Amino acid sequence: MDHHGTTITQFISEEQRKAPGATGEFTALLNDIVTACKMISNQVNHGALVGALGSAGSENVQGETQKKLDVLSNEMFISCNEWAGHLAAMASEEMDDVYQIPDQYPRGKYLITFDPLDGSSNIDVNVSVGTIFSILRCPGGVERPTERDFLQAGTQQVAAGYALYGPSTMMVLTTGHGVNGFTLDQNIGEFILTHPDMTIPADTAEFAINASNGRFWEAPVKRYVDECLAGKEGPREKDFNMRWIASMVAEVHRILTRGGVFMYPMDSKMATKGLGGKLRLLYEANPMSFIVEQAGGGSITGRQRIMDLQPESLHQRVPVILGSRNEVERIQGYHADA
Ligand code: AHG
Ligand code: MN
Ligand code: MN
């Protein structure tokens, strides 16, 4: 089989078989997630041909305008994952409340949180988008999970992953034993292991931040970016390069591939609106932190490790600084100095 490539199903099954008492349920759950991502990939790929672009004319709980593909991806993710009996409930960036498994289906022992389509401002311009997910255990004895059951620290995640709909469609996954990447072979409809053991270089000369918010940043972030911009002549004594895709999945994927730092830090504009940050803890920050840490990188709010945060609400937002370990540690140091 190896000669022809390892499918994601084979890879996960073999990984799970190593765990004592594994029932195959987790493998089956991941298979359903994989199916959902293949369906979303197909819609994203066909874009304007199937009328999938543009606004849905509705708003989500965060007051953001939903794109047609945000809504469609959310529906596809639910319909692929609700019927099989592995999940007790789901929570999504695009749904106000916890999604209960309909009564006609059995309930399972896992919870899932997801961002059905990340980077959706990029849809209409045909730039990479993705799907992010995080799997938690449903607390024992809970029949009908509520918001409270989802409020688990990132360290409790059983698995996390993302699908990237880019020039090729990829799935990147961790179950807490490193990070592996798979590429969708469209001809056979299978994800094949192409990026085993992904690791983030500890050092980098590349950063990603939305610089249009520069005047709202806190001093430590401003200091870090200023020092990068000063290049060879500055205190860092080297030139830096900058990227901003506005799609967290694509930024994290670049960092997993060649290193870098991604920042959506706290700023005064968000503070005025009473927001804790831009990115959502349960749908974006925690799953990406799990993946980044498993690949040897760091992921913090500036002041503390993201995965140690005790979530306070389903749609909570947090500042995010993640990527190459030495740079993330430096930025944490600048926050401590301030
Ligand atoms: P989403 O499309 O799920 O709302 O998330 C978009 C997020 C993230 O992916 C990206 O890094 C950031 O928002 C982009 O923010 P700007 O619009 O400020 O560039
Ligand atoms: Mn998102
Ligand atoms: Mn989204």
Distances (CA, A) of 102 to 7, 82, 91, 196, 292: 31, 8, 14, 37, 34
Q: How confident is the model at residue 19 (pLDDT cuts 50, 70, 90)?
A: confident
Q: Rounded to an integer, what distance in angstroms lies between the CA atom of residue 288 and that of residue 323?
A: 10
Q: What is the pLDDT of residue 3?
A: 58
Average pLDDT over residues 239-244: 98
Q: Are 37 and 131 contacting, i.e. CB atoms less than 8 angstroms apart?
A: yes
Per-residue tokens: 226: 């200023």
The CA 44 to ligand 2 mean position distance, Å, reads: 15
Answer whether 65 contacts ligand 1 (Cβ < 6 A): no
Answer whether 267 contacts ligand 1 (Cβ < 6 A): no
pLDDT at residue 318 above 90? Answer: yes
The burial of 324, by beta-carbon neighbours within 10 Å (0-12 exposed, 13-18 middle, 19 or more buried), is given as buried
Per-residue tokens: 318: 């947090």
Q: What is the pLDDT of residue 23?
A: 84
Q: What is the pLDDT of residue 310?
A: 98
What tens digit of pLDDT does each residue of 64-116 get?
Answer: 889 999 999 999 999 999 999 999 999 999 999 999 999 999 999 999 999 99
Q: Are 98 and 90 contacting, i.e. CB atoms less than 8 angstroms apart?
A: yes
pLDDT at residue 1 above 60? Answer: no
Q: How confident is the model at residue 38 (pLDDT cuts 50, 70, 90)?
A: very high
Q: Rounded to an integer, what distance in angstroms lies between the CA atom of residue 152 and that of residue 133?
A: 14
Picking from 21-30, 194-203, 314-323, which range would have the lowest pLDDT averaged per residue? 21-30
Q: Are 317 and 267 contacting, i.e. CB atoms less than 8 angstroms apart?
A: no
pLDDT at residue 126 above 60? Answer: yes
What tens digit of pLDDT does each residue of 107-121 get?
Answer: 999 999 999 999 999
The CA 270 to ligand 2 mean position distance, Å, reads: 17
Per-residue tokens: 103: 């009564």
pLDDT at residue 2 above 70? Answer: no
pTM of the model: 0.97
Domains plus CATH for the chain?
8-195 (3.30.540.10), 206-337 (3.40.190.80)
Q: How confident is the model at residue 24 (pLDDT cuts 50, 70, 90)?
A: confident
Q: Are 184 and 190 contacting, i.e. CB atoms less than 8 angstroms apart?
A: yes
Q: Are 296 and 325 contacting, i.e. CB atoms less than 8 angstroms apart?
A: yes
Mutate which of 207, 245, 248, 254 to test ligand 1's pocket (most atoms within 8 Å of Cβ)?
Answer: 248
The CA 78 to ligand 1 mean position distance, Å, reads: 22
The CA 194 to ligand 3 mean position distance, Å, reads: 26
Q: Rounded to an integer, what distance in angstroms lies between the CA atom of residue 193 and that of residue 27?
A: 16
How many helices (H) and strands (E) are present in the chain, helices listed first?
9, 17
Tell the residue number behind the tokens 């896992």, with chain if given. Answer: 110
Give the DSSP H/E element, type plus range, for residue 264: strand 261-264
Q: Rounded to an integer, what distance in angstroms lies between the CA atom of residue 173 and that of residue 208?
A: 22
Average pLDDT, the chain: 96
